[in-house]
Amino acid sequence: MLNLVIFGAPGSGKGTQSEILIEQYGLDHISTGDILRGEIKAGSELGKAAKGYIDAGQLVPDGLIIDMIEKVLGERKPKKGIILDGFPRTVAQAEALDALFAKLGTRVHAVLDLQVEEAELIDRLLKRGQESGRSDDNLETIQKRLGVYHAQTAPIAAHYAQQGVHHAIQGSGAISDITARIARVLDTLA
């Protein structure tokens, strides 16, 4: 099993790099943002509960997210491993994930922390908003999400550094160069 967390601020390239890693390493992809957007589209109870938080640039409460992840992990039964994208986003979620993985007899093997300058993040997200029409990719919500990232999500890096699995990756430049930096880290795990 190879369990990876792709980590970083909104717009740091988590989704883009995940797509490449899934192909290269045969991993299952779990993106909590994608799952939540699917739930909203489907009009489910979870979708209804999550929509207000997402549109306001806030995090969906830990309890809802942890229940959702537990269910998805149980359903998917990944063979080679998984890449978690957009989860965990709080230290409480990271601790819940550790416990969940321990129950399954596995762990997080590496956290790939994509580091990108704030101005570039805003630029990328505004562009994505124009192309995809994602409701939370507007300047006001982007700034709120970046604030939430610094306050609630960034502290997770220290949690994983303590476990010796945190890796900082320079996340700007060509997509293929960033993938190569990630591959160098993954090579050290083999």
Contact mark string toward ligand AMP, 56..75, x via CB under 6 A: -xxxx----x----------
Q: How many residues bind ligand AMP (CB under 6 A)?
A: 17
Residue 145 interacting with ligand AMP (CB under 6 A): yes
Residue closest to ligand AMP when measured from CB atoms: 33
Residue 5 interacting with ligand AMP (CB under 6 A): no
Give me the half-sphere count of Cα atoms (radius 13 Å) on the Cβ side of residue 168. 7
Phi-psi group of 115: left, alpha or beta (phi > 0 → left; psi -120 to 50 → alpha; rest → beta): beta
Note if 14 is an active site residue.
yes
- For ligand AMP, the binding residue among 8, 13, 78, 86 (CB under 6 A) is 86
Cα separation of 110 and 163, whole Å?
10
Pairing of strands 110-115, 4-8: parallel
Catalytically annotated residue among 71, 76, 77, 89: 89
Note if 145 is an active site residue.
yes
Note if 37 is an active site residue.
no
Sign of the Cα torsion 1, 113, 16, 139 reads positive
- Of 47 and 81, nearer to ligand AMP (C-beta) is 47
Residue 54 interacting with ligand AMP (CB under 6 A): yes
Cα separation of 145 and 147, whole Å?
5
Note if 89 is an active site residue.
yes
Cα separation of 94 and 89, whole Å?
7
Cα separation of 12 and 117, whole Å?
9
Closest contact distance (angstroms) between CB of 72 and ligand AMP is 12
Residue 167 interacting with ligand AMP (CB under 6 A): no
Instruction: State the CB neighbour count (10 A cutoff) for residue 134.
Output: 15
- For ligand AMP, the binding residue among 30, 39, 83, 89 (CB under 6 A) is 89
Closest contact distance (angstroms) between CB of 51 and ligand AMP is 9
Q: At what angle do helices 62-76 and 91-103 cross, to 10 degrees?
A: 30
The catalytic residue positions are 14, 89, 128, 134, 145
Residues that bind ligand AMP (CB under 6 A): 10, 32-33, 36, 53-54, 57-60, 65, 86-87, 89, 93, 136, 145
